[in-house]
Structure 1
Amino acid sequence: MRLVFRWLVRLASAAILLTVLAVALVYYLASRSLPDYAKTLTVPEITADVEIVRDNSNVPHIFARADRDAFFGLGYAHAQDRLWQMMILRRTAQGRLSELFGRRTVETDTLIRRLDLYNLARASVEHQTPETLDALDAYAAGVNARIDEINARSLGRGAPEFFLFDARLPPWQPADSLAVIKVMALQLSGHLSEEVLRARTSLALDDADRLADILPDIPGDGVAALPEYAALAPGASRHAARAPSEARRAFLSPLPERGLAGASNAWAAAPDRSASGSTLLAGDPHLQLTAPSIWYLARLQLSSGGVIGGTIPGIPAIMVGRSERLGWAITSSYLDDQDLHLEELDPEDPQRYRTPDGWAEFETRRSIIEIADDQPITVTLRWTENGPVLPGSVYDLGAITPPGHVMSLAWTALSGRDTSMSAAVGLMSAENVDSAIELSDMFVAPSQNLTLIDDETVAMKTVGVMPRRNANHQSKGRLPSPGWIENNRWQGRLPFAENPEFVAPAGGIVGNTNNKVIDRDFPRHMSFEWGDSQRVMRWQSMMQGREVHTRDSFIEAQLDTVSPAARTLLPLIGADLWFTGEAAPEGTPDRRRAEALNLLADWNGEMNEHLPEPLIYAAWLRALQDRLIRDELGPLADEYDHVEPLFIERVFRDVDGAAVWCDVVRSAREETCTDIARLALDDALVWIDETYGTQLGSLRWGDAHQATHDHPVLGEVPVLRYFVNIRQSTSGGDHTLLRGRTSGRDPDPFRNVHGAGYRGVYDFADPDSSVFINSTGQSGHFLSRHYDDLGQLWRRGEYIPMSLDPELARAASVGITRLVAD
C-alpha cells in the first residue's frame, strides 16, 4: 500500500511539473511576440531616420522628415500591436478565412467571393492620387519591415494567435489597405437587411396598412406609398416569409446584424457658441465592440503639420481626429446605397437572366476555396448587370425569392474605381473646412456624415456616392424590385453637390446622431431608413440648453445616459396602471407589479448602471413589443429583437388605427392596450425573477448591460476566453447619447454589444486640451498591459490628452523606437 501511495505521489508530482512546464513554455512562446518599444532597428525602405515615441498610454507619436517615412512608421506601429487583427481583416476581404478556420467560415468566404471585394480593391489602386499611392506603398513597407523582423528574430510569429492557427504571413500590399475599407463598408451597410425584413413583413401581414406601424417612417416629408411586395414578386411565399429564420450569423461574417450597421454621434460649435471663442467638436463613432477595439490611437508628423486621432489597423490614415488646422468626425449617414433586384431566370436556360433587352448570359467565374483539414470546394460566382447574385442564406433572402428567380445586389462599394482612400489621406492635410469638403468628393463608400471644424467655421457634409434612381422606381429602393424593368435600375450617380451640406449655420451648431437630416422627395431623398429618432431629441435639448458650450459640456453630452424614449413611452403605456387598484398581499403578482410601477413613477429615464429602473423598463418594453406583434407575425417576430419606440407610440396613441395591434387575433375577447401593457409587465417581472432572483430594488442595470468586448476568434475558446474577453458594467442603452446598443438576443438580450469604440473632443481655442480614448487599449496582445488599460477609463467616461506637443509625448513614454535608414 505504501508503494502504491508513493507512486501515486510521484505521478501526481510529475503531472503537476509537466503542467507547469507546459504553461511556462506557452507563456514564453506567447510573450516572445510582445513588442519591444525601446529599441533601434535598421531598415532599408526609409529615406531618413524615423522616431516612434510611445506615450504613457502607448499611443505612438511618429516623427519623420518626409511624409513617406511617417506612413512607414505607422505601418510598422500597426503591425507591432495589431498584426493578427490586420491579417484577419485582409483574409476576410480576400475570402480566405477557411484556410485557417475550416468549414466554420465557408459561408463567409463564399459571400465575400461573390461580392469580389478584393479584386475590386486591387483594381482601385491605380485610381488613387499620387500622394496616396506613395502613402500606401510606404505603409505596406512598414508592415513588411515588422514581418521581416518577426521572421528574422523569431519573435513568436508576431501574435499569440498565430501559434493556434498556422497562418502564413505574405507581404502586405497597397490593395490590402483598400480592401480593409471595403470590409468596413460592408459592416456599415444596413439597407440590404432592411429590404429583406420589409419584404418578409409585407408578405406576413394580412393587413398591408399595418406595415407603416411596425416599420414606421421617421416623421417628415418625402415618404410615398409602396406596393405590396407580393405585387412586385408574384410567387413569393407568404408561408416562407413567416417561417422561423434559418439565417444565422456566420462565423467572422462582416455582414452586420439588423440594427448594428453603424451609428455614431458628432456635433460642433462655432466661435459664437463657444465659451472660449473658438470652435469645438465632439465625435464618437459606434461599431461592434471587440477585443481589441477596431480603433487604434496614433499621431503622425506630416509635412503639413501634426495630425492625431483614431486609425483603423490596415489603413494609413487618421480616420477621425484633428490636425493643427482641422478637426473631423464621422457618423453613419444611412444613405440608401444598396438595392436588391429580382432576376428572372430563363426557363429554357437557367444560365441566362432577363434584362430590359431580352435574355442575357450571367457573367460567371469559378473560385476555389481552400479549407483547413478538408477538401477544397469550387463555387461559381455570378454577376448580372445590376450586381452580384447573392445566396439565399443572406438575411433569409431565400424566403422572399420566388421560384425561378435569384437576387442580385447593387451597391456603391462594388466599384473598381474607389477613391475613398485618397479622400481619407487627403483630409489629414486639408487647410480648412472648404478644402476638406472639396476633396471629400473622392469618398465612394461607406457613406458618412463628415462633421468638420477649422478655427472659424463648423460644417457637416454627407460624403459617399448617392445612386441616381428613376422617379418611377417601383419600390423606391425600399423593397427588392424586378431587375429587368429599366425604371428599377440605377442610372449612375447624383452629383456630389446633391449630397446634403450644412456650412456655418446661423445657429452656430451642427450635429448628427444618425437622425434624419434632409426631407427632399424621392429620388433625391437620400434615405427612407434612419438610425435614430430618439437620441436627437436629447441632443437638441442639451445643445439649446446653453448659450455657449465648452469642452466639458460637450463631454457631458457625449456621456449622457438619459433615455428620451423612456420619458416618452412610460407615461403612455402606464397611463392606466399607475397607482390603481387595491393594495395587494406581499408575494402576489399584483404586489410585485405595484412595486415596479412605484419605482418607475419616480424615475427620470436615466439609464444608469447602478439603478434597477432601467432593467425593469427595458424588460417591460421588450415583452410589450413581443406581445403586440407575435400573433400577427408568428416566428418572424423574432427578427424584431429591439424595441422600436415609434411603433409603441403609434399603437398607444392609436395613430391611423394602430391600436388594433393590442387585440390578440386568436382570442375571443377584445384586449385593450392597457390589458397588453399589464400582461407584458407581468411577463417582464417573471423573466427578471427567473434571471436575477432578487428584490426589484436590488437590481442593477449594469449587471444586464455589460459591455462585451469579445475576441472575435478566441472569445469562445474554453479557458482562453477568460484572458481575451473584456466585460464591463456600463450605463446607457439603445436610445441614449451614451449609446450602448443591446444584443436583443436570448439569453442575454441586454448585453452591450455595439457602442463608441472611440471618443474624441477637440477644442481649437486650446488644441492640446483636446482629449480622446478607445474602448480597450492599444495592444492586440492579451499578455500586454496595454491590452485593456484604456478600457476602465472608457467605462468611467474618462479620456487621455490629445496633444501634438512632442515633449509631452516624451515626458512619460513607455519606449522610443528608432528606425534607422540603411
Structure 2
Amino acid sequence: MSIVFRWLLRLAVVMIAMIVLAVGLVYYLASRSLPEYDRTVNVADLSAPVEIVRDNANVPHVFGESDRDVFFGLGYAHAQDRLWQMTMMRRTVQGRLSEVFGARTVSIDRLMRRLDLYRLASRSVGVQDEQTLEALAAYAAGVNARLLQINEEALGRGAPEMFLFNAPVAPWSPADSLALVKLMGLQLSGHVTAEVLRARVSLALEDQDRLSDILPDAPGSGLAALPEYSSLFPDAPRFAETGPAARDPLSPVPERGFAGASNAWSAAPTRSAAGGTLLANDPHLGFSAPSIWYLARLELADGGVIGGTIPGIPVVLTGRSARLGWGLTTAYVDDQDVFIERLNPDDPEQYLTPDGYKPFETRPSIIEIKDAAPITLTLRWTENGPVLPGSQFNLGTVTPPGHVTALGWTVLDPDDTSLSAALAIMSAKTVQEAIALSEGYISPAQNLSLVDQDTIAMKTIGAVPKRDPQHQSQGRFPSQGWRAENRWQGRMPYASNPEFVAPRGGILGNTNNKIVDRPFPDHVSFLWGDTQRINRWQRLMQSRQVHTRDSFIEAQLDPVSFTARSLLPLIGADLWFTGQAAPEGTPERQRQIALGLLANWNGEMNEHLPEPLIYAAWIRALQKRLISDELGPLADAFTQVEPLFIERVYRDIDGASVWCDVKQSAPKESCTDMARLALDDALVWIGETYGTALESLRWGDAHQATHDHQVLGDVPVLRYFVNIRQSTSGGDNTLQRGLTSGKDPTPFHNVHGAGYRGVYDFADPDSSVFVIATGQSGHFLSRHYDDLSQLWRRGEYIPMSLDQELARAASVGVTTLVPK
C-alpha cells in the first residue's frame, strides 16, 4: 500500500510540475509581446528622432520634427498596444476572417466581399490630398516598423492571441486605414435594417394605420401617406421566417437600434461661467475589450491635438487643439436604400433598368477557409449597388420571386475623401474654417460639433443622397429599382446640410434627435436615434444661466430617465394604490410592493436601486404583450422598447389603444388589464432570476457593462482574464446611456454606450478631461488593459492637457524612435 501511495504522490508531483511549467511557458510566451515603453528603438523610414512619452494613464504624447514623423510615431504606438485589434478589423473589412476562424465566419466574409469595401478603399487612395497621402504613408511605416521589431526580436508575435490563432500579419498600407473608415460606416448604418423591418411589419399588419404606432416618426410635422408595401410587391412573402437570432461578436453589422449613437453639447462664452466656450462629447458604440477608442496626443506643425483615435486610422476623431474643439454624433442621414431588382425571366444574368434589361457587373472572389475547402463567390453589381443575398438583413423576407436586392449606400463611393477632410479638421483654427474643410467628408454621416475661442457650431457632414420627389417609398422601405423616380440623382449640395452657428441662446446639442423638419426630399432622414434623451438634456441645459466643465460632466453622467417619468403615470394610472392589502407572499402583494416602490421613485436609473429593474422589466413585458398577437414571430425583432409606441397606445392616439386587445381572446382586454398582466409577468421573471425580495434588488446586477473580448470572451477560464464587467447606472433612454441587449437570458446587460467621454473647456484648455471605458492596452496581461475602466464606471476622468512637462511627469516610459 505504501508503494502505491509513493508512486501516486510522485505522479501527482510530476503532474503539478508539468502544469506549472506549462503555465509558466504560456505566460512567458504571452508576456513577450508586452510592449516595453521605456527604450530606444532604431527604425527605418524615419527622418529624425521621435519621442513617444506615455503619461501615467499610458496616453502616448508623440513629438517629432515633422508631421510625417509624428504620424509615424502614432502608427508605432497603435501597433504597440492594439495590434490584434487592428489586424482583426482589417481582416473583417477584407472579408478574410475565415482564414483564421474557419466556417464560423464565412457569412461575415461573404457580406464583406459583396460590399467590396476594401477594393473601394484601395481605389480611393488616389483621390486623397497630398497631406493625407503623406500622413497615411508615414502611419503605415510606423506600424510596419513595429511589425519588423516584433519579428527581429521575437516579441511574442505582437499579441498573445497570435499564439492561439494562426493569423499572419501582412504589412500595413494606406488602403488599410481608408478601409477601416468604411468599416466604421457599416457599424454606424442602420437604415437598411429599418427599411426591411418596416416592409415586413407592413406586410404583417392587417390595418396599415397601425404601422405609425409600432414604428412611429419622431415628433414633428406629419408625413404624407405612403403606399402599402404589398401594393408595390404583391408577391412578397407576408410571414417569412426571420434570420438567425445569434450574432457573432466579430460581425460588424449592427442589430436594429445599435447603429451608433452619441451625445454632444456646447456652450458659448455668454453661457459659460468662466467666459470660455465649452464642449462635451461621448460617442456611443458597442462595448468590447479593449475599447474601440484609443487616447493620443500629436504635436503637429500647427500645434498639438489630443483626443480619441481608433487604432488603424491616423486621425483624432474627437478632441481638441489649443484653438478648436470638435466632437461627433451619429447624424442618422438616410444614406442607404434597398432596391428590388427584377430579373429577366429569359436570362437571370440580366436585370431591368429604366432603359431595358442589362447584364450584371460580375467578378469572382475566392474565400479561403481554415480546415475547409475554399469557396468561390460571384459578386454582382447593378447600377444601384451591390446585389446582396436574401439571407442578409432578412432581405429574403421582402423579396418576391424573380427578383434580387441591391444596396445603394454613400460609403460605396470610390472617390471618398472623408479621411482627408477629417485630417484637415485637426489643423483648423476656427469654427468656420472647420466647416469649410469638412465639405469633402462623404461617409459615415456625422453631426460635427465645433467650438473655438468665441463661437459654437454644429454642422451635419457627409453625403446626403438626392431623391426624386416622386420616389415611391421616399426611401422608407425597399423600392422598385427599375423605375427612374426611385433612383438616386446624385447628392444634395453640402450647403443644404443642416448647420447651426452661434445660436442666440448660446447652447447647442445633439443626442441623435431630430434636428430639422423639412419635407421630403429635403428631409435628411425619417429615422432618428433619439426622441427621449433630448428632453432631459434640454431641461439640464436650461436649468442654469451659465455652465461649467463640471456641469457638463454632470450632464454626461446623468442617469435620470425622462421616459420612466413620462410613461409610468400613463401605464399605472389605474393601478396606483388600488385594492385591499394582500397577504404576504401572494402575487397581489408583490404587485403592491412594486407599485409602492415605483410611486415614490424619481426615474433615476441608479445602479444601487431596485426601481429601475422593476420598471425596465415591466415596460419590456408590456410591449411584448401588446405586439405579440398582431405581429406573431416578427415581434421578436423588437428587442428594444419603443417609448413613443407605448405612449401612443396609452394616450389612444389615432385609435392606438386597439393594441391592448388580444385578438385571439373572446373578452376585450383594456390597457389597464395589459399593464397589470405585464407587471405580473415582470415580477415572475424577476423572482425567478433575482429573487422575490424586491427591496433588495440592484439595477447594477442586471445592468452590467459587458466589455467582452470578441474572440476569447466565451472561452472557459480565459474569459475571466479578458472580459471586463462592471455594475453601471443609466439605461436605454438616459444621457448616461447604457443600451441594454434586449435578449434573454440577460436582457438588461449594458452592451452599447459611451466608450469615450471628453469635456473641453476653452477658458482653461488644460483643465479639459477625457477617459475611455477600458484601458489603452489591448494586451490582457498589461496593467493598462483595464486601468481606466473603474474611473469610467465611477464617472471620473483623466487630464487632457497639451502641457509637455505634465505628460513627462510620472510617465510610465518614453520610447525614442531613432532613424537607422
Partner of 2:713: 715
Secondary structure of the residue aligned to 1:134 is helix
Partner of 1:276: 274
Name the CA distance, whole Å, in 1 between partners of 2:131 and 2:245. 43
Partner of 1:600: 598
Partner of 1:109: 109
Shift in Å, 1:222:
5.8
- 1:42-77 C-alpha deviation (Å, 9 max, x unpaired): 112111110000000000000111000000000000
Partner of 2:574: 576
Name the CA distance, whole Å, in 2 between partners of 1:192 and 1:745. 21
User: What CA RMSD, in Å, does the superposition of the two structures yield over aligned residues?
Assistant: 0.7
Amino acid at match of 1:103: A
Percent of aligned pairs with the same amino acid: 71
Secondary structure of the residue aligned to 1:819 is strand
Which residue, 481, 499, 502 being the options, matches 1:501? 499
**What aligned pairs does 1:779-798 form with structure 2 within 5 A after superposition?**
779-798=777-796
Name the CA distance, whole Å, in 1 between partners of 2:412 and 2:232. 25
- After superposition, the Cα gap between the structure-2 partners of 1:485 and 1:248, relative to the gap in structure 1 and judged at 3 Å, is farther
**What aligned pairs does 1:127-206 form with structure 2 within 5 A after superposition?**
127-206=127-206
Secondary structure of the residue aligned to 2:372 is coil
1:222–1:521: 8 Å Cα contact kept in structure 2? no
Name the CA distance, whole Å, in 1 between partners of 2:286 and 2:450. 24
2:242–2:394: 8 Å Cα contact kept in structure 1? no
Secondary structure of the residue aligned to 1:668 is coil
1:293–1:775: 8 Å Cα contact kept in structure 2? yes
Secondary structure of the residue aligned to 2:433 is helix
- After superposition, the Cα gap between the structure-2 partners of 1:283 and 1:730, relative to the gap in structure 1 and judged at 3 Å, is same
Shift in Å, 1:224:
2.3
Name the CA distance, whole Å, in 2 between partners of 1:230 and 1:6. 80
Which residue, 751, 765, 771 being the options, matches 2:763? 765
Shift in Å, 1:249:
2.3
Partner of 2:523: 525
- 1:753-806 C-alpha deviation (Å, 9 max, x unpaired): 000000000000100000000000000000000000000000000000000000
Any stretches of 5+ residues in structure 2 without a counterpart?
none
Partner of 2:43: 43
- After superposition, the Cα gap between the structure-2 partners of 1:369 and 1:126, relative to the gap in structure 1 and judged at 3 Å, is same
Shift in Å, 1:495:
0.4
Secondary structure of the residue aligned to 2:369 is coil
**TM-score, with length taken from structure 2:** 0.99
Partner of 2:25: 25
Any stretches of 5+ residues in structure 1 without a counterpart?
none
1:108–1:251: 8 Å Cα contact kept in structure 2? no
Please, which moves more after superposition, 137-146 or 716-725?
716-725
Amino acid at match of 2:238: R
Amino acid at match of 1:497: A
Name the CA distance, whole Å, in 2 between partners of 1:652 and 1:386. 42
Amino acid at match of 2:466: R
Amino acid at match of 2:381: W
Shift in Å, 1:273:
0.5
**What aligned pairs does 1:350-429 form with structure 2 within 5 A after superposition?**
350-429=348-427
Name the CA distance, whole Å, in 1 between partners of 2:244 and 2:139. 42
Secondary structure of the residue aligned to 1:34 is coil
Shift in Å, 1:251:
5.0
Partner of 2:232: 232
- After superposition, the Cα gap between the structure-2 partners of 1:247 and 1:619, relative to the gap in structure 1 and judged at 3 Å, is closer
Tell me, yes or no, if structure 1 residue 333 matches structure 2 residue 331: yes
Partner of 2:456: 458
Shift in Å, 1:12:
1.3
2:242–2:397: 8 Å Cα contact kept in structure 1? no
Name the CA distance, whole Å, in 2 between partners of 1:658 and 1:200. 19
Shift in Å, 1:244:
4.3
- 1:600-651 C-alpha deviation (Å, 9 max, x unpaired): 0000000000000000000000000000000000111011111100000000
Amino acid at match of 1:490: W
**What aligned pairs does 1:622-641 form with structure 2 within 5 A after superposition?**
622-641=620-639
- 1:203-243 C-alpha deviation (Å, 9 max, x unpaired): 01111110000000111126221111111112001121xx4
Shift in Å, 1:247:
5.3
Secondary structure of the residue aligned to 2:288 is coil
- 1:149-172 C-alpha deviation (Å, 9 max, x unpaired): 000000000000000111111110
Name the CA distance, whole Å, in 2 between partners of 1:91 and 1:486. 37
Please, which moves more after superposition, 692-701 or 795-804?
692-701
Name the CA distance, whole Å, in 2 between partners of 1:179 and 1:579. 59
Shift in Å, 1:250:
4.0
1:323–1:428: 8 Å Cα contact kept in structure 2? yes
Amino acid at match of 1:800: I
Name the CA distance, whole Å, in 1 between partners of 2:670 and 2:628. 16
Amino acid at match of 1:468: K
**What aligned pairs does 1:508-519 form with structure 2 within 5 A after superposition?**
508-519=506-517
Name the CA distance, whole Å, in 1 between partners of 2:422 and 2:461. 11
Name the CA distance, whole Å, in 2 between partners of 1:41 and 1:237. 63
Name the CA distance, whole Å, in 2 between partners of 1:394 and 1:326. 42
Shift in Å, 1:11:
1.3
Shift in Å, 1:196:
0.7
Name the CA distance, whole Å, in 2 between partners of 1:3 and 1:343. 81
Shift in Å, 1:442:
1.1
Secondary structure of the residue aligned to 2:420 is helix
Amino acid at match of 2:559: T
Shift in Å, 1:821:
1.9
Shift in Å, 1:245:
3.9
Amino acid at match of 2:165: F
Partner of 2:775: 777
- 1:689-736 C-alpha deviation (Å, 9 max, x unpaired): 000114000000000000000001111111111100000000000000
Partner of 2:286: 288
Please, which moves more after superposition, 691-700 or 569-578?
691-700
Shift in Å, 1:496:
0.2
Secondary structure of the residue aligned to 1:239 is coil
**TM-score, with length taken from structure 1:** 0.99
Number of positions where the alignment pairs a residue of Structure 1 with one of Structure 2:
820
Amino acid at match of 2:133: L
Partner of 1:120: 120
**What aligned pairs does 1:622-661 form with structure 2 within 5 A after superposition?**
622-661=620-659
Which residue, 721, 726, 729 being the options, matches 2:727? 729
Amino acid at match of 2:688: E
Secondary structure of the residue aligned to 1:370 is strand
Moved over 3 A (4+): 243-248
Name the CA distance, whole Å, in 1 between partners of 2:431 and 2:342. 48
Secondary structure of the residue aligned to 2:466 is coil
1:268–1:453: 8 Å Cα contact kept in structure 2? yes
